[in-house]
Amino acid sequence: MREQIAYLVQLQGIDDEAGLVRARLSVCANRLKELEVQLSGLSVRLESQQAERRQLQARQKDLTYKIEDANRLSKKAEKRLMEIKTSREYRALQRELEDAKGNIREMEEEVIVCMERSEELDKSIAALSGEHGELEKIYLQEKKDVDAEVAGKEGRLEELTAGREEIAGQMRPQLFQRYQRILIAMSGRAVVAVVSSVCRGCNMNVPPQIYNDLQKGEDLKYCPHCERIIYWKQEDEEDGEED
């Protein structure tokens, strides 16, 4: 049984490390994802402002042509005004001219609105582009670091899995299955040390009889409080978590 208990302790050591490695991998993946979300948010804003800027440019160009046409027509009408003979015709044409000029003024005002908004957008687009560029630099650097770390961690995880299988192969199948069950039920901590009578799983004192038996290491013992598999560890071995 002593040997089986040693295997259990090793197994827990491996699972502890694998748990830490997996947690770190998930932190790495989340960090990259977070940056990707920020980057794509900036891209979306940038693209929408650029699209608005293009629309404004097209509208401004369109208005400029229309204003030129309207001015040309007004000039012609002004010339015709000189040649008109009847006052009725004169008044009609004059009204037409005034309408046309009013229309030109409106279009010119719209051009100014377009220009003002374009200036605003240009500033915002420049700021967003800068922000995007900076963030992209950070992302690429971080991705390089994360990719390297992930490769290392995945390699370690493979080693741990191989080590786990090796130990499992040497264990009594029933004991291994029991370990697996407790591991799941106890959120990853199935085997814990008892140091100076205190269970490291639940920090409760184990009864003296169990503690005495535990020190002999002859039978498999469970914590009466948290029901984890327990083993005896000397006080000066504390925090060593040797395997």
**Are 8 and 175 contacting, i.e. CB atoms less than 8 angstroms apart?**
yes
Q: Looking at residues 49 to 88 of the shown chain, list those that interact with Zn ion (rule: CB under 5 A).
A: none
Count residues binding Zn ion (CB under 5 A). 6
Please identify, using beta-carbon distances, which residue of 42 and 194 lies nearer to Zn ion. 194
Shortest separation between residue 175's beta carbon and Zn ion, angstroms: 19
Tokens standing for 70? Answer: 């309207």
CA distance linking residue 56 with residue 225, whole number of Å: 73
Angle 187-193-194 from CA coordinates, rounded to 5°? 120
Of 111 and 182, which CB lies nearer to Zn ion in the complex structure? 182
Comparing CB distances to Zn ion, the nearer of 11 and 223 is: 223
How many other CB atoms sit within 10 Å of the CB of residue 243? Answer: 14
Which of 84, 121, 220, 226 lies at the binding interface for Zn ion (CB under 5 A)? 226
> What span, in angstroms and rounded, lies between the C-alpha atoms of 33 and 12?
31
Helix (H) or strand (E) holding 231: strand 229-232
Shortest separation between residue 230's beta carbon and Zn ion, angstroms: 7
Half-sphere exposure of 165 (CA within 13 A, CB side): 5
Smallest distance from Zn ion to CB 228, Å: 5
Binding to Zn ion (CB under 5 A) within 166-205 occurs at 199, 201-202
Chosen residue from 190, 194, 223, 229 binding Zn ion by CB under 5 A? 223
| Shortest reach from residue 216's CB to Zn ion, in Å | 19
Binding site for Zn ion (CB under 5 A): 199, 201-202, 223, 225-226
